Chain A
């Protein structure tokens, strides 16, 4: 590991006992822990980056005879697999984070929404839950965790679609507001957090906000778990300090011939080589739910974009116009330009269209198609055309 990239051992460190951390934190004042979370600057690791402390605060303040904690383990973003590793390696930490959240906001029930593709880990996870339930009992913590399985729909990672799905319906995102923290699962206040976020909350309880914040930048406090794939000799999951320069990242993980890095999965941004130096990975630069896909000069960016658009055409929930039809138009559009049925100026129309999708789609899926589309089309116009 180079000097410039700081590898962190927080999430996966085994030299802490999450049950002890939980037991200790349960004795603390709830509001002051929320304050600590807010002070830590922890933002959601699922992609949207909402301050976790605030989310918990809203849910705690929200009125409801029942509240829920949901761990979002849908991990459907192409190129993302870090939640898989976290759930395999340190499930207790995830469960501890859920219990902590439940304790703080006043929820007695938690759910892990596990993507159907990860059904193979369900048994192990259930074992970890059973064990944790015993620990809750000794702590006199009234909290129960259940697993709900996804069934192969990417959009169900969107928190309101996830809730719809848990309620037995099609995973169509809801109108927001209201947000789940006030009206969520079964209409009750609900915190939906990413797997990794939940672990960090427990780790902040352990090491304290100042130490967490000592890493990262003002906007992107702490570290983050990255899923690194593509043209790299060392694909895998790494916990790295936020705020790194992409050039440093590429130096560390690239194969020496990196042409572009797709930051944040299919719904993220494509950064070409010439911008590696000016690109910061973090909320002030390019945020990511963890996916970093590296492409070397042998790769066709047309194929990359085509693959992403195919994915969106299939995985859009289909309810709203800009996304359902827009995705198809973008896909058919680049095909038409490639085959010369339309001339290159049509790409400008498509960029305008993607802007409309960004501003007018109902949920983050349709809103973020423009990210990869515009960045790839603008940076690799020639590859799209010829």
Chain B
């Protein structure tokens, strides 16, 4: 049994489990203590000091997020001493901060601003230190803007990048007044190991790390009568967009999402889920082909395990950190880029539109997708395959700018073609989803039967464990796939790059006998992506996950190969999975990159 600790918060007795902090205890007693550096996903830092509270009898205040509750403590969360110190600390933070809220991207969504408002920090008494600092704004990355003049040095980003992503592209540099969040030798973000995952962005309390936004460009395209603007929406957008538009986490807003995009004036509202289904066809076939080469042809060069490739943060990660394993990565483009390549070819043909007039926009839960769309190799349609990538947050902002009352919108369906999808596609948004979708289809191709899981729900690949392992025994193969009879298909799923790193390390050392690995750069999968509404926490990610699986259960088709539009595109355009056309448009290659 865990030991219980009794203490008093503002004279109210509370009991907490041993190990709980004073902050936890205060929460339990229904007192809010402000925090900045603290984040439920990260280890305790205790550096901002706004959470200080008074412990009766102690000379010094205590950082409530960092100090464990102890038996008999008497804590005051808002005594005169606490208030004075807290206000001073906020004022200090503002004194080294370029406080131009009205011009700031985080205006209205900033934890520092909230605190400053709450404590009515009007005229800052202290000397403005901004002119003494040569703060810089880094716009080198297509995904991330880093503005040091907005940084409060809470180190949430640093902890995120190191603890959750094992990238440590950004780190704390220098000491004293020169201390800052920096990269290797202060190089531009675009020139370092940063994966553009945006996990730091969704944990940054201020405007110091934000996405590069394309809102104006997209509006311009929409208003341009010459342009045909198609938009695709990623699976994880529909279960999170609501959070930025007055819905609770976990509420599905798919129908309203479609309606709002139509109201915004997009010419065609299509679905990345369509190309998610297509990914399953291509990637599933690729996997089976690799297995065949390995098991039947005895080809020693075929790289196994094969890993997924739909998370561009993950791709950049492996390009930097494990370039020797690049041949293990599926050559499939991500669903976004498959969509982009098809929008200006297949879609253009079918709809009889000049591809040069098509502007292809995607709504993504992801900041790395901005980088991906800018890769030079992503121009297989002859044009830039995806012109603009907007995050879920940017879309919410556009909806607000257009004055759309999102809550009261009716539901609508996606347009066609490239708008029909399956439950298998929607679960791409959750960790384990690509794996589940792939197994649903591959198993059926190979055995002619549905996967033996109740309601097709392959529960062993679901959930928030960092690395999940599962195996499926293949029995009753149809003629073409007899060589797989009795094979135990071993798979692993990792989300968050720290877990990806662990799995890759095992693969590199030959200590992993998986056939297929799904890797998502972001914790929880895309639903926890760096482009999703802020804040994020495990609780919120769990709610989004539940919503995704609900969405799956409610879809008429649950297996990618049953998607009628998928059948159509192979008949009319692509031929067969891994065929010539697929290779040209849907597959890609990777580049080894520097390790810093």
Are A and B in direct contact (Cβ within 8 Å)? yes
Q: Is A313 an interface residue (CB 8 A)?
A: yes
Binds A, one of B123-131, B242-250, B445-453, B550-558: B123-131
Q: Which residues of A contact B59 (CB under 8 A)?
A: 359
Per-position binary interface string of chain A over residues 164-207, scored 1 when its CB falls under 8 Å from any chain B CB and 0 otherwise: 00000011100101000000000000000000000000000000
Q: Which residues of B contact A93 (CB under 8 A)?
A: none
CB of B60 to closest CB in A, whole Å = 5
Q: Which residues of A contact B122 (CB under 8 A)?
A: none
Q: Is B252 an interface residue (CB 8 A)?
A: no
Known: A318-B175, A356-B84, A356-B88. A325 touches B96 (CB 8 A): yes
Of A317, A321, A336, the contact of B93 (CB 8 Å cutoff): A321
Per-position binary interface string of chain B over residues 72-108, scored 1 when its CB falls under 8 Å from any chain A CB and 0 otherwise: 0000000001001100110011011000000000000
Interface size, chain B (Cβ < 8 Å): 39
A131 to B45, CA, bound (A): 43
Binds A, one of B47-55, B353-361, B384-392: B47-55
Of A171, A314, A359, the contact of B85 (CB 8 Å cutoff): A359
CB of B433 to closest CB in A, whole Å = 38
CB of B87 to closest CB in A, whole Å = 9
CB proximity to A under 8 Å, residues B13-48: 44-48
A313 to B67, CA, bound (A): 27
Q: Is B507 an interface residue (CB 8 A)?
A: no
CB proximity to B under 8 Å, residues A296-325: 312-322, 324-325
Known: A155-B175, A328-B96. A321 touches B68 (CB 8 A): no
Q: Is A362 an interface residue (CB 8 A)?
A: yes
Per-position binary interface string of chain B over residues 167-178, scored 1 when its CB falls under 8 Å from any chain A CB and 0 otherwise: 000001011111
Q: Is B155 an interface residue (CB 8 A)?
A: yes
Size range of the interface on A? 35 or more
CB atoms of A360 and B176 under 8 A apart? no
Known: A321-B49, A322-B49. A314 touches B172 (CB 8 A): no
CB of B271 to closest CB in A, whole Å = 46
CB atoms of B177 and A320 under 8 A apart? no
Q: Is A353 an interface residue (CB 8 A)?
A: yes
CB of A310 to closest CB in B, whole Å = 10
CB atoms of B63 and A175 under 8 A apart? yes
User: In this complex, what residue of B is CB-closest to A311?
Assistant: B176
Known: A175-B44, A362-B47. A352 touches B176 (CB 8 A): no
CB atoms of B172 and A170 under 8 A apart? yes
Of A153, A317, A329, the contact of B92 (CB 8 Å cutoff): A329
Q: Is A80 an interface residue (CB 8 A)?
A: no
Q: Which residues of B contact A79 (CB under 8 A)?
A: none
User: In this complex, what residue of B is CB-closest to A354?
Assistant: B88
Known: A360-B49, A362-B63. A325 touches B178 (CB 8 A): no
A329 to B47, CA, bound (A): 18
CB of A374 to closest CB in B, whole Å = 15
CB atoms of A319 and B52 under 8 A apart? no
Q: Is A21 an interface residue (CB 8 A)?
A: no
Per-position binary interface string of chain A over residues 116-157, scored 1 when its CB falls under 8 Å from any chain B CB and 0 otherwise: 000000000000000000000000000000000000010100
A155 to B88, CA, bound (A): 23
Known: A321-B92, A325-B96. A175 touches B67 (CB 8 A): yes
**What are 23 inter-chain pairs, A to B, with CB distance below 8 A?**
A153-B175, A175-B44, A175-B67, A312-B176, A316-B175, A318-B178, A319-B47, A321-B47, A321-B89, A321-B153, A322-B88, A325-B93, A325-B96, A329-B92, A329-B126, A333-B126, A333-B127, A336-B127, A353-B126, A356-B85, A356-B89, A360-B52, A362-B46
A interface, CB within 8 angstroms of B: 153, 155, 170-172, 175, 177, 312-322, 324-329, 332-333, 336, 342, 349, 352-353, 355-356, 358-362, 367
